[in-house]
């Protein structure tokens, strides 16, 4: 593989570091931040690389190294054995350079200034929300004077060509109506809406467009940022990543995906179904091309079976009509603006939304924690959604995150225990993801499930 050594000058929102901050990112320190920083940088340098095998990526790029070079005029990054695809004519592509310094910004700020002060204590719900706000503010992601127009698009990284083209069509229609796009920053359904919107924004002569990609350290190496992202934000963990989505977003559009997409759906519905959020506008649309209509029929069936018939009040399914999706999203964001204005809430950050601690506390997918999840129908619907969300999060970890992959390799598949009625429905949905190759990108290795479903 062709590689390049280069000294990179600042490009982005952070270029000045203290000597203490530089020291914490040195290879010799025991903070653990160096390896985290290295892996996130490697993910950014592999921008546009459509693979989700983190072990293979790390093995192929084992010689890669990065160090922060302090200077009085700002920090420089020295990269060794960086993928040549990140360079043109010996110069690093500007978008990749910006995202590289976003990694530096978020790793330094989150872990050196915020997380060090709080990691020894359990944060309250308000403290967690404040932390999410501070990270987004430091990343300059909050735009107080901008019209509410952020369309959060969720969906899988392993989707068909037909599904990918449809995500671009929806993105195009959203862009024509002036929407900014926010996704999980990876390939597939995270890339398509941004790509489609980019063409529409050019047609509308819109030059201040935002393509926001929100990731977290455990998943960014498996889902490298796509080339369209012009604002990369790395949150500390999946729970804060999800909260960042729902606090920033004004409309939510879901395309077909796998367990990660199911996790996002359950997270949002669990919050929306909480009694304290009755009056909060959170428009949610499920959409797919005609050939994938069955995907959301299965999702809808599962949601009704687990969360009750009333769950359908919180979302709308639109099949094979990109313009209709965008029109609904546009009208919904206008309603959101009116509602926020009436309640004196900010356009740029949804403070009014109530999020229970159960959705905020990091879930560590050990085998014991996965087996202990209370998966039974006799519980409050928002609690049911929270526990199912954790189950999905654990399976995502077992598929693509280093921690989960190592756990499964050491102890075997995760065991999910549920009452028979619920287990049948959960097993059927998960098996449909496997059958449709939505768990991981297709490869000659095939997919080996990282979980098994057992009845109590």
Q: How many domains, in total, are found in the chain?
A: 2
Cα separation, 385 vs 393, whole angstroms? 12
User: Is 137 in the same domain as 82?
Assistant: no
Cα separation, 410 vs 433, whole angstroms? 24
253: which DSSP letter? E
With 0-12 CB in 10 A as exposed, 13-18 as middle and 19+ as buried, what is 218?
A: buried
User: Is 33 in the same domain as 137?
Assistant: no
Query: Of 75, 99, 121, which marks where a domain is finished?
Result: 121
Query: Of 76, 93, 121, which marks where a domain is finished?
Result: 121
Pick from 45, 20, 44, 46: nearest CA to 33:
20
What is the pTM assigned to this prediction? 0.90
User: Is 113 in the same domain as 134?
Assistant: no
Q: Indicate if the alpha-carbon torsion angle 334, 340, 346, 352 is positive or negative.
A: negative
The confidence score (pLDDT) of residue 271 equals 95
Q: Residues of 421-455 as b/e, b for ≥16 C-beta within 10 angstroms?
A: ebbebbbebbebbeebbbbbbeeeeebebbbebee
With 0-12 CB in 10 A as exposed, 13-18 as middle and 19+ as buried, what is 25?
A: buried
pLDDT of the chain, 456 residues: tens digit per residue: 688 999 888 665 555 566 666 666 777 665 677 888 888 888 888 886 666 566 677 777 788 988 888 776 667 888 999 989 899 998 999 889 888 888 888 887 777 656 554 455 677 889 899 999 999 998 999 998 888 999 999 999 889 999 999 999 999 999 999 999 999 988 899 999 999 999 999 999 988 899 999 998 878 877 788 889 999 999 989 999 999 999 999 999 999 998 889 999 999 999 999 999 988 889 999 999 999 999 999 999 999 999 999 999 999 999 999 999 999 999 999 999 998 888 888 999 999 999 998 899 889 999 999 999 999 888 888 899 999 999 999 988 888 787 888 889 899 999 988 888 888 888 888 888 888 888 766 665 667 788 887 776
User: Is 7 in the same domain as 137?
Assistant: no
Residue 140 sits at φ, ψ, to 5 deg, of: 60, 35
User: Is 362 in the same domain as 397?
Assistant: yes
The confidence score (pLDDT) of residue 135 equals 92
Query: Of 121, 150, 168, which marks where a domain is finished?
Result: 121
User: Is 285 in the same domain as 334?
Assistant: yes
Q: pLDDT tens across 83-112, in order?
A: 898 999 989 998 898 888 888 888 877 776
User: Is 254 in the same domain as 366?
Assistant: yes
* CATH number for the domain harbouring residue 183: 3.40.50.450
User: Is 74 in the same domain as 135?
Assistant: no
User: Is 48 in the same domain as 127?
Assistant: no
Beta-strand pair 3-8/76-83: antiparallel
Residue 135 sits at φ, ψ, to 5 deg, of: -65, -45
User: Is 93 in the same domain as 168?
Assistant: no
Q: pLDDT tens across 33-47, in order?
A: 788 888 888 888 888
* CATH number for the domain harbouring residue 43: 3.30.1850.10
Domain that includes residue 87, residue range: 3-121
């Amino acid at each position: 593989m062709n590689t390049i050594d280069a000294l990179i000058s600042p490009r982005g929102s952070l270029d000045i570091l203290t000597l203490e901050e530089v020291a914490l990112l040195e290879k010799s320190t025991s903070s653990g931040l160096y390896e985290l920083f290295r892996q996130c940088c490697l993910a950014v340098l592999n921008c546009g690389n459509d693979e989700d095998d983190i072990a293979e990526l790390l093995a192929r790029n084992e010689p890669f190294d990065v160090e922060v070079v302090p200077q009085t005029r700002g920090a420089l990054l020295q990269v060794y054995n960086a993928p040549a695809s990140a360079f043109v004519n010996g110069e690093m592509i500007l978008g990749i350079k910006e995202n590289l310094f976003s990694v530096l910004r978020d790793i330094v700020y989150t872990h050196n200034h915020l997380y060090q002060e709080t990691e020894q204590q359990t944060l309250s719900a308000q403290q967690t929300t404040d932390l999410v706000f501070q990270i987004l503010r430091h990343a300059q992601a909050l735009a107080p004077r901008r019209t509410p127009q952020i369309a959060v698009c969720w969906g899988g990284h392993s989707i068909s060509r037909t599904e990918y083209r449809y995500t671009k069509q929806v993105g195009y229609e959203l862009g024509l109506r002036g929407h900014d796009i926010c996704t999980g920053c990876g390939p597939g359904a995270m890339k398509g809406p941004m790509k489609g919107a980019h063409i529409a924004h050019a047609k509308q002569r819109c030059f201040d467009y935002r393509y926001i990609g929100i990731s977290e350290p455990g998943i960014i190496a498996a889902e490298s940022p796509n080339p369209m992202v012009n604002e990369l934000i790395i949150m500390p963990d999946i729970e804060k990543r999800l909260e960042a989505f729902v606090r920033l977003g004004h409309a939510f559009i879901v395309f077909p995906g796998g367990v990660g997409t199911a996790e996002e759906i359950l997270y949002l519905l669990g919050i929306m179904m909480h009694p304290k959020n009755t009056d909060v506008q959170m428009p949610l649309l499920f959409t797919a091309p005609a050939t994938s209509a069955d995907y959301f029929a299965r999702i809808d069936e599962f949601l009704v079976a687990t969360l009750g018939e009333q769950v359908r009040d919180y979302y709308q399914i639109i099949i094979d009509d990109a313009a209709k999706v965008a029109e609904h999203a546009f009208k919904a964001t206008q309603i959101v603006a009116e509602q926020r204005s009436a309640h004196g809430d900010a356009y740029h950050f949804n403070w009014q939304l109530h999020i229970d601690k159960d959705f905020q506390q990091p879930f560590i997918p050990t085998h014991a924690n996965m087996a202990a999840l209370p998966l039974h129908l006799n519980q409050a619907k928002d609690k049911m959604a929270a526990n199912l969300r954790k189950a999905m999060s654990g399976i995502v970890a077992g598929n693509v995150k280093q921690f989960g992959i190592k756990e499964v390799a050491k102890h075997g598949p995760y065991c999910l225990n549920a009452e028979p009625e619920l287990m049948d429905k959960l097993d059927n949905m998960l098996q449909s993801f496997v059958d449709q190759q939505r768990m991981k990108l297709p490869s000659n290795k095939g997919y080996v499930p990282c979980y098994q479903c057992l009845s109590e």
